[in-house]
Amino acid sequence: MSGKTAIQWATAVWNPTTGCTRVSVGCDNCYAFALHDKRYVSNLDAAKAWAKATALTDPDLVRAALAAPTGELVRAFRAAGARLPFTARQYDVPFSRVQVLDDERLDAPLREQKPQRYFVDSMADLFHEAVPDLLLDRVFLRMALARRHTFLVLTKRPERMRAYCAKALGESGLDINAELDHVAPLLTPAERAEACAWALRYQFGPEPPPNIWLGTSVEDQAAADERIPHLLATPAAVRFLSCEPLLGPVWLGPAFLGGRLDGAISFAKKIDWVIVGGESGPRARPMDLAWARSLVAQCRAAGVAPFVKQLGRMPFDGGMTLPGQHWTEEQQKAAEWITVPGYSAYQRALHLRDRKGGDMDEWPEDLRVRELPR
Where residue 277 falls (left for φ over 0; alpha for ψ -120 to 50; beta otherwise) is: beta
Verify that 226 and 311 share a domain, yes or no: yes
- Alpha-carbon distance 289 to 275, whole Å? 14
pLDDT for res 318: 59
Q: Say if residue 82's pLDDT is above 80.
A: yes
Taking the CA atoms of 220, 24, 232 and 117 in sequence, report the sign of the dihedral they define. negative
Confidence of residue 345 (pLDDT cuts 50, 70, 90): very low
- 55 with 201, same domain: the answer is no
**Based on the domain organization, do 173 and 248 belong to the same domain?**
yes
47 and 13 in a single domain? The answer is no
pLDDT of residue 336 exceeding 80, the answer is no
Residue 44 in any domain: the answer is yes
> Does 297 map to a domain?
yes
Domain final residue pick, 47, 68, 92: 92
**Segment of 85-89, 101-105, 122-126, 164-168 carrying the highest mean pLDDT:** 122-126
Give tens-digit pLDDT for 210-234: 899 999 999 999 999 999 999 998 9
State whether 271 and 148 are in the same domain: yes
* 213: in domain: yes
Q: Which residues contact 158 (CB under 8 A, 6 or more apart)?
A: 127, 216, 227, 228, 230, 231, 234
Q: Could you tell me the CA-to-CA distances from 264 to 260, 267, 292, 306, 339 in Å, in that order?
A: 7, 9, 25, 22, 42
Residue 335 lies in a domain: no
- The per-residue DSSP string of 295-351 comes to HHHHHHHHT-EEEEEE--SSEEEEEEE-TT----HHHHHH--EEEPTT-SSEEEEP-
84 and 46 within one domain: yes
Shared domain check, 48 and 16: no
pLDDT band at residue 254, thresholds of 50, 70 and 90?
low
Residue 241 DSSP code: E
Tell me the one-letter amino acid at 299: C
What does the pLDDT average to over 45-73? 74
Q: Which of 36-40, 75-79, 171-175, 350-354 has the lowest mean pLDDT?
A: 350-354
Q: Is 85 helix (H, G, I), strand (E, B) or coil?
A: coil
Q: What is the DSSP string of 115-157?
A: --EEEETTTB-TT-TTS-HHHHHHHHHHHHH-TTSEEEEEES-
Res 353: pLDDT? 82
Do 77 and 112 belong together in one domain?
A: no
**Co-location of 174 and 295 in the same domain:** yes
How far out from the chain centre does Cα 105 lie?
18
CA distance 359 to 361: 5
Q: What is the pTM of this model?
A: 0.85
Greater confidence, 111 or 1?
111
Find the mean pLDDT for residues 76-104: 87
Last residue of a domain, one of 47, 65, 92: 92
Number of domains composing the chain: 2
Measured CA to CA, the distance from residue 123 to residue 16 in angstroms comes to 9
Q: How far apart are CA 302 and CA 289, in angstroms?
A: 20
- With respect to residue 215, please indicate whether it lies within any of the assigned structural domains: yes
Inside any domain, residue 350: no
Which one has a higher pLDDT value, 327 or 318? 318
Which residue among 92, 110, 134 closes a domain? 92
**148 and 50 within one domain:** no
Full 3-state SS string of 27-78: HCCCHHHHHHHHHHHHHHHHHHHHHHHHCCCCHHHHHHHHCCCCCCHHHHHH
Indicate the DSSP class of residue 169.
Answer: T
87 Cβ contact list (under 8 Å, min separation 6): none
130 CB-contact burial (10 Å; exposed 0-12 / middle 13-18 / buried 19+): middle
Q: What is the pLDDT of residue 72?
A: 75
Residue 81 structural domain: 36-92
**Average pLDDT for the chain:** 82
**227 and 248, same domain (yes or no):** yes
In a domain, 321, yes or no: no
* Single-letter code of the amino acid located at 33: F
Is the pLDDT score of 11 beyond 90? yes
Rg of the chain (C-alpha set): 24
pLDDT confidence of residue 205: 59
Domain shared by 51 and 162, yes or no:
no
pLDDT surpassing 60 at residue 320: no
Please indicate, yes or no, if residue 259 is contained in any of the structural domains. Answer: yes
How many angstroms separate the Cα of 355 from the Cα of each of 61, 290, 334, 368?
Answer: 47, 20, 21, 17
